[in-house]
A and B are shown apart, each in its own frame.
Chain A
């Protein structure tokens, strides 16, 4: 089997980079610090390439397939999507993006910002309708969830304190005690899980990040 196709090389690289960075965090060894800095800075460069190239290439590949196959009711949207993507890339890379009044900035402010705000606003209507139709006191658990949610909403809304000052006290207690306790449990258990998974990745037991079989 070709050396380049072996899975041992990426596992060794993962372990080397991971252990060097980990050890340099806890033990001050100047040479190791320099190496760890190189690895961390390289990660930023790799992330930039992934963002700049992998994402658009995947989008191009996927939507080109839809256009070529003329998938009904979808190919025209894919065409528009690719047109807008390339236009944004051209404006961002070539049309002096950092100058005052740059076309790229105007493009962003006139299209992406209002569209994002619109979609965010639609969420409010959607949540209102969903809350009305589905938030029912069907069981003990849903009742606790619903009543707690309403109490916290009344604490956050200025009108809650006007209706009854006790809503603020109760809402604050809910945030300070059960919410904090519950989320602390989630945060700690998630952290322990991440540590366990990371150790497995460093030791080469987890290979999902390598892709393939």
Chain B
């Protein structure tokens, strides 16, 4: 039997059935996807730094793009699409190793959405198969890639790939970008900082999920990484800077309204909590 206080509207706002909470969340998230609101997005400096660095790399530069994420890191998939397209549109070459189990699978999936233009596989870009071991794998790759892999993902000898002839040591690498998912074991931004930035001082940047950003932000503030793409928002910012608004920008409205919805629920829950506390109602 509900007490008079529990029947009060101030109490009821803290007891909404989960079914309605989830239903409202679905409507709020799906609505902007169907009819975008076009909310303006302020561009962050951490994303701008990454874009500017790629944009100013001289022609013929060789970079590494490490694909250390899996299929549940949707935010990174969005980042990878726009970032790789930007790199493909520039006259620079890139090597794509993977220190995460699903990295190669994700690379193949993402390339379905990209326009490679005049870039040729084996000459302008190459995919290295998954290398297990995390820190030691990254260290071994940097020291001597031919010591641990002899072929690319498709089984072609590294010596038969012109791009790999340009990679004899880390002195040949002009930039290292890592798409880093928050998984235990495997690669990621922190092993890369330890094994690439520390010994070789190669310029480094990363793409992360939103939950990783607070932990990696100190590396950005101290200059160990020149920039970072922060989750879905980072992907949207990159799309806007690159002047190719796509999926990430479309989803920004949903993200904003979703955040606002969660904050509203927290406020309502606290209003109910303090009301019941003041009336001495036990939950």
Contacts and interface: CB of A to CB of B under 8 A. Distances in A.
B214 interface: yes
A5 interface: no
Contacts of A41: 140, 144, 147-148
Contacts of B221: 176, 180
Interface string A151-177: 001101111111000001000000110
B25 interface: yes
Contact of A47 (B132, B215, B256): B132
A94 interface: no
A105 interface: yes
Interface stretch (A56-64, A76-84, A133-141): A133-141
A116 B71 contact: yes
Given A47-B133, A131-B266, A117 B72 contact: yes
A159 B215 contact: no
Which size class do A's interface residues fall under? 35 or more
Interface in B233-250: 233
A136 B255 contact: no
A150 B270 CA distance: 13
B217 A183 contact: yes
A158 B231 CA distance: 13
Interface string B258-282: 1111110110111001100000000
B71 A156 contact: no
A131 B217 contact: no
A43 B136 contact: yes
A129 B71 contact: no
B204 to A, nearest CB: 16
Given A116-B72, A132-B265, A180-B217, A40 B21 contact: no
B7 to A, nearest CB: 20
B25 A156 contact: no
Interface string B205-218: 00000100111011
A142 B138 CA distance: 40
Given A157-B255, A158-B253, A162-B40, A47 B218 contact: no
Counting contact residues on chain B (CB < 8 A from A), the size range is 35 or more
Contacts of A128: 21-22, 25, 261-262, 265
B40 A187 contact: no
A175 B214 contact: yes
B259 A156 contact: yes
B210 A156 contact: yes
Contact of B136 (A25, A40, A131, A176): A40
Contacts of B155: 98
Contacts, number: 147
A159 B39 contact: yes
A94 to B, nearest CB: 15
Interface stretch (A66-74, A106-114, A198-206): A106-114
Given A41-B148, A157-B256, A117 B266 contact: no
Contacts of A135: 266, 269-270
Contacts of B270: 135-137
Contact of A157 (B108, B199, B214, B259): B259
B113 to A, nearest CB: 13
Contact of B105 (A48, A50, A108, A156): A108
A44 B148 contact: yes
Interface string B114-152: 000000000000000001111011011001100110000
Contacts of B101: 51
Contacts of A8: none
B72 A159 contact: no
Contacts of B18: 129
25 contacts: A25-B199, A41-B148, A47-B136, A47-B137, A48-B132, A108-B102, A112-B71, A112-B102, A116-B71, A119-B72, A128-B21, A131-B265, A132-B262, A137-B270, A150-B263, A154-B259, A157-B260, A158-B41, A158-B42, A158-B233, A158-B255, A161-B42, A180-B221, A183-B217, A184-B218
Interface of A: 25, 37, 40-41, 43-45, 47-48, 50-51, 98, 105, 108-109, 112-113, 116-117, 119-120, 124-125, 127-129, 131-133, 135-137, 146, 150, 153-154, 156-162, 168, 175-176, 179-180, 183-184, 187
Given A47-B137, A50-B132, A129-B22, 19 more contacts: A25-B199, A40-B139, A43-B136, A44-B133, A108-B102, A108-B105, A112-B71, A113-B109, A120-B72, A128-B25, A129-B21, A137-B273, A153-B262, A156-B259, A158-B42, A158-B256, A159-B39, A162-B39, A184-B218
